[in-house]
Amino acid sequence: MKRRLFIGFFFFCLFPLALLSQSDCALTKTNRLWFAQMPLNDSVCLDFNFRMLSKDQKPQLEIYNAEETFLVDELTMASDSIGFKMPVFDSELRFKWINKDSISGVWINHGSKNKSGLKFAARQIEVFPKKRNLLISPFVGKWKVDFNPENKSDSYKSIGLFKESGCLDRIYGTFLTETGDYRYLSGRMYEKNKDTLMELSSFDGSHAYVFKAKLKVDKTLEGDFYSGAHGHERWAAERNNQFELRNADSLTYLKPGYDKLDFSFPGLDGKVVSVSDDKYRGKVVIVQIMGSWCPNCMDETRFLSGFYERNVSKGLEIVALAYERTGDMNKAVANVERLKKRFACSYDFLIAATSSDKSEAVKTLPALKQLISFPTTIYIDRKGKVRKISTGFSGPATGTYFDKYVKETNEFVDMLLKE
């Protein structure tokens, strides 16, 4: 997804009340949650919730992100603290116990320039189910959203989708853009100084987002989007069930005179792989332009892993071209290997570059006119011709948009396989 803002955080904002995922509605594990707070700036604070678990006498964390649960099971140890490395992303949470109910800690993003990390404090809380609050209905539905509406040179369109959580006094949602979605958002509606307000936030292991909105008298929304410690954008929205973004298959294309894609990059074992190799010749090939740092790429990789297993015997191959943010080949390989292992991917991953600069990425794929998003997905037929290029990814948090993507991808690839 196209990111206009610098991201420096790991956790998500759940606000003063503790977040419960769908699995928490029955409180099947325990009523005890850890509630942590990490200030982003003077006016915005990231709050996050997690549970501590144990498997085979090894501590684990479960971090709740709306309808999504992250299991964090890579333990790291230091002389004075315990740490957990996030799945997929190159980031780590370290903490010390103050007492049995309190923790002080630091979040370390190894890809950030801030090597000292960001401090937070956590305490255990008791959580009890609450009755559903139908007052969130002013926000539920589909909205046409303008980010940076006052600045035409930096403005962009989005679709806001908000719904009742179906569990407690919470509201879920996401924002779709033409380059991807903001994944799972969770928050609440509340009244303050006679204003009706909504707050949503998300943690996906790589980014931290906080969205604030106020319901205006004319039933439109105005709000703020905070990304990490420094990113900030204004946004405005109006209800519009008919509004759609441009077709994702029309935004990225080949230069005039090109109908094929050619590339050669080293695989994770260092051996150079080319799309013209015998393994891909005469096959339908999906080329996934991605990075292990990219949350939308993570969602796409999760889907493509199973999709590949179901279609490889029919003549499908997938090859991922990773553009990493490390500047170091060994680190890039290690990061991509973690992602590949996490989703049990059996298709090839190549290191296309140790930079995610889009203008530099285009130079590695000279047939492309432009690259505006990670991920970008290229579909090649059995004759080696590019048949479709899709920009961005609408992940499972987008509901019916994700269902449509799955249906159309199955139908299109099945058509190519039968040709």
What is the DSSP annotation of 44-66? Answer: -EEEEEEEEEEETTEEEEEEEET
Backbone angles phi, psi at 52, to 5 degrees: -100, 125
The pTM for the full model equals 0.86
CATH number, span 134-239: 2.40.128.20
Spatial separation of the C-alpha atoms in residues 380 and 366, rounded to whole Å: 16
Q: Report the topology of domain 248-418.
A: Glutaredoxin (3.40.30)
pLDDT for position 25:
36
Residue ranges matching CATH 3.40.30.10 in the chain = 248-418
> Strand 284-290 to strand 316-323: parallel, antiparallel, or no bridges (unpaired)?
parallel
Residue 39, helix vs strand vs coil: strand
Which one, of 109, 79, 78, lies nearest residue 93 by Cα?
109
Residue ranges matching CATH 2.40.128.20 in the chain = 134-239
Q: Report the topology of domain 22-126.
A: Lipocalin (2.40.128)
- From first to last of its 419 residues, the chain has per-residue pLDDT tens of 544 443 333 333 333 333 333 333 332 344 478 888 877 778 888 777 888 887 777 888 888 888 888 888 888 777 677 888 888 888 888 888 888 889 898 877 776 666 667 788 889 887 655 555 555 678 999 999 999 999 888 899 999 999 988 665 678 999 999 999 999 998 888 889 999 999 998 877 677 788 999 999 999 999 999 887 778 999 999 999 999 999 999 999 999 999 999 999 999 999 999 999 999 999 999 999 999 999 999 999 999 999 999 999 999 999 999 999 999 999 999 999 999 999 999 999 999 999 999 999 999 999 999 999 999 999 999 999 999 999 999 999 999 999 999 999 999 999 999 99
CA atoms within 13 A on the CB side of 201: 29
CA atoms within 13 A on the CB side of 116: 1
Sheet with 74-77: list strands edge to edge: 68-72, 58-65, 45-55, 32-39, 118-126, 102-109, 91-99, 82-85, 74-77
pLDDT for position 387:
98
pLDDT for position 96:
87
Spatial separation of the C-alpha atoms in residues 105 and 82, rounded to whole Å: 9
CB 275 within 8 A of CB 261: yes
pLDDT for position 58:
80
CB 31 within 8 A of CB 126: yes
